[in-house]
Structure 1
Amino acid sequence: MASTNGTQPDSLSLLRQSIASQILPIPTTDADPSTQSESNTTLAQASYLIFNSQSSHNGAQHVAIPLTQPTRFISPAAGDKPLDLRSVYFCWLNKDTGVGDYITATQAHNEELKQAGKSETITNLVFAEKLDLVTWLAGEIGENESEHIKSLDDNRKTSREATDAATIAQGGEDVEMRDAGVEGAGRKQEEERLREIYAGERKMGDRNTVLRGSKIQDFADVRKKYSAMFFAKSRGGAPGQNVVPSLTNNPALRPPIKSQSGRRPEPIILLSPSASSLLRMPNIKSFLEEGLYVPPEASGNSGTNILHLTRTLPSISPAKPIRFILVDDPSSFRPDYWDRLVAVFTTGQTWQFKNYKWQAPAELFSHALGVYVGWRGDAVPDTVQGWGRGVLTVNIDKGMQRWRDREVVEDVWRGIEQKMRAMGWGRDGR
């Protein structure tokens, strides 16, 4: 079924609506399946997703979208290319799968596609992209708040500009030759006369055809590369004098780069994967969000290795909470993710840092705040004490006096906020 205005429905919006209504689309081998065998198939064998919806005016509606159709999700890991619908839907089906299992499942699905005679493959999203896509599809963030999903307005504008530019470049007419008062042979004669006039005109085009031609070009990479050279004004020079700032050699003091979509980059917190750590993935969210410590084995949460939480930091973003990403395995990090690292929870065991960009504790804790959480009354490990002021040490009660946890959590957030300000995070996202 096509949309009423003749355009193809947006597959990402349809999938988000289907998830919200708890009516997932059906993989099929045909756009209009007539037999049960065509709709009772695996995702690898399917070529379409059938979206079913109920309308009070039109009754049941069915929309068939090819699984190869590009979506509005732009994946930097895939070379800033639009993600196809098959990869998006596969990511949603594996939303609760860990990093290692997700990679294995992706490889297995690509092998199934090959056996099914399909030349396409699905994209293996890195953890931050996967988290952003899953939270958007689940409706946990707003329609235009995804870091990687282009807005519908941007899509329509780009498509319209490309169509207009192509029409003009191909010599198409940009004036409708209609005259309600001219009919029959008279109208035909008038149209011929107008065509002769237009044929003698020189088509000037617009800024899109002059600067870009018939193909829309994306200069975001150029802007990203050179904007850092001109982002500040001199504080010590004459008023109004612009200078090119000298970039520091310490990456910890460089401001994080904003995403192409204009959203604030999401800071990252790394946890220790050690079994002796008091705070791990199962209980870290209840601790940092609710100010309540629950033993990891008693939290009842699943063993996910990616979480996110929000927190208002008054000196950085007083009006809008900042969304943090929490992870205990940096093996899937892209190089730019390390610029977004703001805190590292540690037990004092240096093997935790073997896969980090900075493996020496002194260098690591010059880039991010170290946080050691121990039992009140227990001695702090000598290794942690030797790391100095780069590591914040806090203690929680062993007993049932959980009312003190809130105070400890506030100390942790104050330390993270101070470190982020020192790194250059500000109200403008830097």
Structure 2
Amino acid sequence: MDPLSALRELTIRGELDKIVRVNDEFRFGNDYIFPCSVETAYRSKQGNLYTLETLFYYVKNHHIKHTEYLQNARIQKIPSVTLPDRKPLLEYLQGKVSSNDAIEFVVPQNPKFGGDMVSMDIEEYRPEDPGLAGFRENGNGEEGEEKFGVKGTENVDYISMIKAIERPLKDRETLLQCRNRDFHSVLVAATRREEERQRIESQQRKDGLVAKSRIMGSDDRGYGDDIGYDATQKPKMNFKGSKIGEGVPIILVPSASQTLITIYNVKEFLEDGVYIPTDVKVKQMKGAKPDCITVQKKFSRDRVVTAYEVRDKPSALKAEDWDRVVAVFVLGKEWQFKDWPFKDHVEIFNKIIGFFMRFEDDSVESAKMVKQWNVKIISISKNKRHQDRAAALEVWDRLEEFVRSRSHS
């Protein structure tokens, strides 16, 4: 029996207390043993298969508030069930519905017998079963005359009979799992190397452009006009004149968790064109929040693009840093701009381009405030990740157009 069906069976019978965790395994009484991290056949609306550990923890704690459940699961370091999945998942596990679209059972077929491969545990095998009568040795160590209800031993395909009662223990997904292995340190090291590489390349481009401009005697020429902001271009005016300050341009993102784009997931969205929920990235990074990250437009291979700094603490910016701020992802709340060095949001969005990220099926009320501002609303799908790239490209196109206009004003 697969882990999802086994969990559903005990949930319906009200016997969840029979499930005991021993190290990295769940023992279902004396019937089944499954790894805690084994993926079940229930796929979340975000696209991933829930593990047995996640489903068992949820069904044991479904009665508490979702926010409290998320907090407890985070403390226990157990991946959580998302809010949209809660109700349909619980109805299935409790037997209120027989199935739903999120379930993807993969049942191997036996070509010889033409039916589903039977899942059977050791305890399910009984020599007294009518179909298995006589499948045992006699006192002389020889096989009995009747095998699987067939008289005699000739012309009996025992291999096929054995295969018919085999239970698959691994599939192509679980084979790739590495129990008791944590690759977080590998991810962190790779991320640091990539950021260091980008920093070096950015500095090399800067040095090269400076040298070229000196040779040509054109210090005031903007070589980056067709590719975005050039960090070597001399600022002629301060922020009052809308010129970009000297240094790498800055993009501000909210530090609040209720926004779609944060400092945790902005790099994947802008560089790779893929939206990853913040809570997923927080788990991957184990809460290691960076103060500043660097992003570049990677969609074009035939031209060099300029790096941007992304920050989420406006209060930490110095006066000269504000001259470098070119974009902001907004929450849709006035308090986000408290203590900003501007008169009002009208002045802010005249000098800084604003973006508001939302799910395309969210309530119109969520964008009611920002529709009064000079910001661009970017919509993405909750489930269709292949559409993220177009949204990211729209952000880049509008940002680069805005930076060019500011550089020439």
Task: Provide TM-score, normalisation by structure 2.
Answer: 0.41
Bigger CA radius of gyration? 2
Task: Provide TM-score, normalisation by structure 1.
Answer: 0.39
